[in-house]
Amino acid sequence: MKLASLSTSARHSSQPQDLTPGAGPAAFHFHTVTWQADGFGFDATSGEFFTASPAALIVMQALGEGMARSQILDRLTARFEVTRSTAERDLESFLAELVHIGLTPESN
């Protein structure tokens, strides 16, 4: 299982994106994004929309709910046929990618 790449969890906006580390939108907050079952997310405070793969959607929703990593791993392994070690490796990689592009702070 691979959670997502930048292309499957891309942020969409009418403004150009700055993907340098830490240059993400200050207005983005997981609690302000509404996610649909098809992976479409909309942030009503900024007007931006997002798309996510099925696995990335689970992670984004879980982050929005304030879940711990172990709880996110439980969700991933329950939903997909994947070992916990593979899910953990992919989750850590995906979270690092979110930090890199500025969509979440390092503490998540």
Q: How far is CA 96 from the centre of its chain?
A: 10
- At residue 70, the pLDDT reads 95
- For residue 27, give the nearest of 13, 9, 6, 8 by alpha carbon: 13
- At residue 44, the pLDDT reads 82
Residue spans of beta strands (DSSP E) within 1-108: 11-12, 33-35, 40-43, 48-51
Are 3 and 56 contacting, i.e. CB atoms less than 8 angstroms apart?
yes
Are 55 and 4 contacting, i.e. CB atoms less than 8 angstroms apart?
yes
Q: Model pTM?
A: 0.66
User: Each residue's pLDDT tens digit in the chain (108 positions)?
Assistant: 444 433 334 444 444 333 233 334 444 566 677 888 888 888 888 888 878 889 998 998 898 888 999 999 999 999 999 999 999 999 999 999 888 876 676 654
Are 91 and 76 contacting, i.e. CB atoms less than 8 angstroms apart?
yes
